[in-house]
Amino acid sequence: MLAWLLSTCDANPIEAHDNIHDPSLADGDDALWKRVRVPSGSGGSDPTELSDLFQVSDGCGLADDWVPEVAALHNAVTAAYQSFSSSQSLRALWKQFFGVTFKSDGSVDTSDSYTQKTWTAIGTRLSGVSQFLAGGGVIGSPLSGKPWIFCNEPGDYAPWNQPAKDQTGNYIPSTVRFDEYGQTIPTDYYTIGQLFPLYAQSSSVRAYFIKAFNGYQFDGSGYTPTCSKPDRYAYTNLKIPGNDLAVRPTINVDLGQYNRFVVLCPDAFLLSQALNQLHSYPSLAQAVSSSHYPGSSGDPLDRYVPLSGTLYHELYHLTDHNNPSGDPFSESSPWYFVQIYATSLSFEHAIIDHFANRKFHVKEGVNQCLNGGTSRNFDTTKNPESFVNFAMAAYMFLHPPPGKDAVLFVGGKPQTKVYSS
């Protein structure tokens, strides 16, 4: 009973809700899981390394240090979502990045239809990430268990004419013969192209076999391997291949299923702060240290976003249940919709979406995010980089070092004593 009580309290969302045990909680209007404490705070269940949240492939040790920073960034956003009424500065950030308006008393202007819709969508986004960081998993996952994370190429390129493998990693026979003892001996095998005919029809789609879970991943960027696409820092898969419309229905085979996964590409680990190199600051701690915290003459906001910002970005893709995210303000759109009609294969139609192409372009800096807020574009709620930049601005404002004036990034540039808190 004690374990049950502790578990219930740990999962209780902020504010009182009648449906606090509803697994679809994140679909509520203003439901938020409790803020995740940063590891330096109280409580012993805070995520401190990747394995607390993911099934981890080899080579991800460098990213373990990112998890406490991701929790800290998210704490800053959820604090701003709760404490805006007492802080004109935080309200200014919400208006800049998301176009949200407020009444003179500091409350959200729910009479404005855009604000009401946007504020609700923001709460849903934050709830999904909060639940994941609190150990509640990914909402809507078809499989139990933690999602995978890879810090290198997750799979081997698999040409369409290569024999296909099932969930055990074995080739799938298409024809067999019987030996003198009545045992079946395969004489030919289904190819990957035969198994996934809709995917194979697109010249840009590549198939990859991932040994970690004996499943296929499909990438629509046209680049091989997946991380070779220029400026690709990371991506999160969307579609889970299996016995669905993508598979030829006349083939009876069990394919490797998997939960959603995140891939961190080599560019995500670059410390270079060359021009336009985003998410390259060494750490949050350095950003708010006395020797680096900016005054009014500091660098633009996106130059302070640390390496961990890439992982935080991907969590918004990972947790976008029933409300797909993209990177709508990036210079090269990551949306690869291919609608194929193939009635000859007994399919009415299938939509091949994303092909695991969620990524952000190097030029999607703070200005593109601010433009989305200024134009009151609802796509800001579907743009993880808007949350990343907002998180960094809120964190810098809420954590000035001793003796320093809190900096508010106005138009992406640092300002002091502009708004009282």
CA distances from 155 to 207, 208, 246, 352, 354 (A): 9, 5, 19, 20, 18
| Structure confidence at residue 274 as a pLDDT band (50, 70, 90) | low
Alpha-carbon distance of 19 to 60, in angstroms, equals: 37
Tell me the pLDDT of the chain averaged across its residues.
80
Check whether 185 has a pLDDT greater than 90: yes
| Structure confidence at residue 413 as a pLDDT band (50, 70, 90) | very high
> What pTM was computed for the model?
0.83
Bridge partners, 216 (sequence order): 209
Q: What pLDDT score does 333 carry?
A: 41
Check whether 213 has a pLDDT greater than 70: yes
Check whether 43 has a pLDDT greater than 50: no
Q: What pLDDT score does 45 carry?
A: 57
Q: Which helix (H) or strand (E) holds 128?
A: helix 113-133
Check whether 165 has a pLDDT greater than 90: yes
Residue type, 13: P
Which position has the higher pLDDT, 183 or 25? Answer: 183
State pLDDT tens for residues 243-258.
Answer: 454 666 667 788 888 8
Burial status of residue 360 (CB atoms within 10 A of its CB: 0-12, 13-18, 19 or more): buried
**What percent of the chain has a predicted confidence (pLDDT) above 70?**
76
Q: What pLDDT score does 270 carry?
A: 87
Mean local confidence (pLDDT), 311-324 = 90
At 67, list the tokens: 């998890």
Residue 226 and residue 213 in contact, taking contact as beta carbons nearer than 8 Å? no
Q: What pLDDT score does 12 carry?
A: 44
Q: What pLDDT score does 56 carry?
A: 93
Check whether 51 has a pLDDT greater than 70: yes
State pLDDT tens for residues 356-412.
Answer: 344 444 457 899 999 999 999 999 999 999 999 999 999 999 999 999 999 999 999
Residues in the chain: 421
CB atoms within 10 A of CB 1: 5
Give the three-class secondary structure for 392.
helix
Check whether 22 has a pLDDT greater than 50: no
Q: What angle do CA 121, 124, 127 make, to 5 degrees?
A: 150
Alpha-carbon distance of 415 to 189, in angstroms, equals: 65
Residue type, 65: D
Q: What pLDDT score does 145 carry?
A: 86
Q: What pLDDT score does 342 carry?
A: 28
State pLDDT tens for residues 125-154.
Answer: 999 999 999 999 888 777 788 999 999 899
